[in-house]
Amino acid sequence: MLLKELTEAFGVSGAEHEVRNILKREIENCAEFRTDALGNLIFEKPGKGKKPKVMLAAHMDEVGLMITSIGKNGWLKFDTVGGIDDRILVSKTVVIGPNKVKGVIGAKAIHLQEPKEREIALKSKNLYIDIGAKDKEDAEKVVKIGDYAVFDSKYEVMGDLIKAKALDDRVGCYIITEILKKNYDLTLCGAFTVQEEIGARGATVAAYTLEPDIAIVLEGTFAADVPDTKEEGYSTTVGRGPAITLMDKTFIADRRLVDRVLQVAEQNKIECQLRRTAFGGTDGGKIHIAKEGIPTIVISVPCRYIHSPASLTSLGDIQNTIALVDALIKDFQERGI
């Protein structure tokens, strides 16, 4: 199953090749593609060449760790890549580098701690990964400085939801591959981007290259519909359909476009919601101000616990997002922008 394969693949910012290779294989028969200097996978599906030219974007990279040094005892020091809450790191299994070496992030046993110590959150700089190496030399046989590590986490079905790492933004990648399998008269182009988690860097150059008439960014966004959060803090709700962004820290949507999306959703009876927060950022932040500006829509699948080893989302929301994007493209095809 593609979504399983995508979420289980390695792809920390700067080392997205596993994800890229899966996507290449998936779109080989339905679109032309190439890579650029940063590693974005740029695709184009000419259709019948009709205007407008629609760009689709989703990022391939995920947050993770990078090995920064190997200690005398064979322990690995690391730094985080992208926004990870240091407090989630302790007591997790990770997979490191091209050799897929397993390691654990340990912590001092509770027995050895002073009561006061427990009140202080552990910082990544105080943590290390143990791969069971005898010493530095032993560790260096399988791990190199600069290797990336990801959480060791499998795709699993949990009731109506699924659990996986990297749903942000492999759900977006998955949705685009599904859209590319359909046929339209207008030209679809776009990019599976790199390095979103460290500043939407892939999208910056991809939008510069593609010059579309309009862009749709597909994301996995945070859903805070959990206990101890009041409803006004939910931002998005899992199971209520795709979420449309009005504003985040990098982007203010054109209200006319948002209304258009809502209208298309209503006509096609697709449940969708507004993203009810102004925090966060996506590739859309860079795309909409590329060159002279590109009209941009950001649509996200709500996911709980993003940037952790176990995020949750709804397959129904993913299907609804595909349906919405499909309907939207058809609408652009018929009525223009």
Partner 1 sequence: MELKETLMELLSAEMPSGSEVKTNNCLVEIFKRHCDDVRVDKLGNVIGRKGSENAKVKIMLAAHMDEIGLMVKQIDERGFIRFSYIGGIDHRILPAQEVIIHGREKILGVIGSKPPHIQEPDERNKALKSEDMFIDTGLSAEKVRQLVRIGDVITFKRKPVELLNGCFAGNALDDRAGLAAIIYCLQELDKLQFSAEVYAVATVQEEVGLRGAVVSTYHLCPDIGVAVDVCHGNMADVSEEETQKLGKGPAIALGPNIHPKLYERLKNIAEDYKIPYQVNPEPSATGTDAWVMQITKEGIPTALISIPLRYMHTTVETLCLEDIKLSGRLLALFISSLEENFVEGLRCY
Partner 2 sequence: MKELVKKLTEAFGPSGEENKIREVILDEIKDYADEVRMDVLGNIIARKKGAGEKLMLAAHMDEVGVIVTNIDDKGFLRFSNIGGISPFTLIGERVVFENGTVGVFGMEKMDDIKDLKFNKMFIDIGARTKEEAQKKVRIGDKAVYYRNCDIIGDYVTAKALDDRAGCAVLIKVLQNVKSPRFDTYFVFTVQEKVGLRGAKTSAFGIGPDLAIAVDVTKTGDTPESEKMAVELGKGPAVKIMDRSVICHPKIKEMLIDSAEKNNIPYQLEVLEMGGTDTGAIHLTKDGVPSGCLSIPTRYIHTPSEMASIDDMEKAVELLLYVLEK
Q: Return the active site residues.
A: 196
Contacting range for partner 1; rule: CB under 8 A; set: 33-41, 133-141, 178-186, 244-252: 33-41
Q: Which is nearer to partner 1, 15 or 175 (CB)?
A: 15
**Site membership for partner 1, residue 153 (CB under 8 A):** no
**Site membership for partner 2, residue 199 (CB under 8 A):** no
Exposure class string for 75-84: b at 16+ Cβ within 10 A, else e: bbbbebbbeb
**Site membership for partner 2, residue 225 (CB under 8 A):** no
* DSSP labels, 235-279: SS-TTS--EE-SEETTEE--HHHHHHHHHHHHHTT---EE-----
Q: Which is nearer to partner 1, 149 or 328 (CB)?
A: 149
Q: Are 283 and 57 in contact (CB under 8 A)?
A: yes
Q: Which of 32, 69, 140, 259 binds partner 1 (CB under 8 A)?
A: 69
Q: Which of 82, 103, 212, 302 binds partner 1 (CB under 8 A)?
A: 82
d(CA 112, CA 117): 10
For partner 1, the binding residues in 245-304 under the rule CB under 8 A are none
**Site membership for partner 2, residue 258 (CB under 8 A):** yes
**Residue carrying structure tokens 């994800």:** 19
For partner 2, the binding residues in 272-291 under the rule CB under 8 A are 274, 276-279, 288-289, 291
**Site membership for partner 1, residue 27 (CB under 8 A):** no
**Site membership for partner 2, residue 229 (CB under 8 A):** no
Binding mask 198-217 for partner 1 (x = CB under 8 A): xx-x--xx--xx--------
d(CA 303, CA 310): 10
d(CA 43, CA 192): 8
**Site membership for partner 2, residue 228 (CB under 8 A):** no
**Site membership for partner 1, residue 9 (CB under 8 A):** no
**Site membership for partner 2, residue 293 (CB under 8 A):** yes
- CA 243, chain centre distance (Å): 15
Among partner 2, partner 1, none, partner that 30 touches (CB below 5 to 8 angstroms by kind) = none
At 90, which amino acid appears? V
DSSP state of 141: T
H/E stretch holding 6: helix 2-8
Exposure class string for 241-258: b at 16+ Cβ within 10 A, else e: bbbbbbebebbebeeebb
**Least distance in Å: CB of 309 to partner 2?**
28
**Least distance in Å: CB of 276 to partner 2?**
5
Residue 303 exposure: Cα atoms within 13 Å on the Cβ side:
27
**Least distance in Å: CB of 285 to partner 1?**
13
Among partner 1, partner 2, none, partner that 270 touches (CB below 5 to 8 angstroms by kind) = none
Tokens of 189: 């182009």
Checking 132-141 for CB contacts under 8 A at 24+ apart, the result is 132/103, 133/74, 133/75, 134/74, 135/72, 135/73, 135/74, 136/70, 136/71, 136/72, 136/73, 136/74, 138/74, 139/70, 139/74, 139/75, 139/76, 140/70
Q: Which is nearer to partner 2, 220 or 280 (CB)?
A: 280
**Site membership for partner 1, residue 58 (CB under 8 A):** no
Q: Which is nearer to partner 2, 246 or 327 (CB)?
A: 246
* Strand 296-304 with 214-222, pairing: parallel
Chain contacts with partner 2 (rule: CB under 8 A): 231-233, 246-247, 250, 252-255, 258, 274, 276-279, 288-289, 291-295
Chain contacts with partner 1 (rule: CB under 8 A): 13-15, 17, 20, 34-41, 65-69, 71, 77, 79-82, 144-146, 194-195, 198-199, 201, 204-205, 208-209
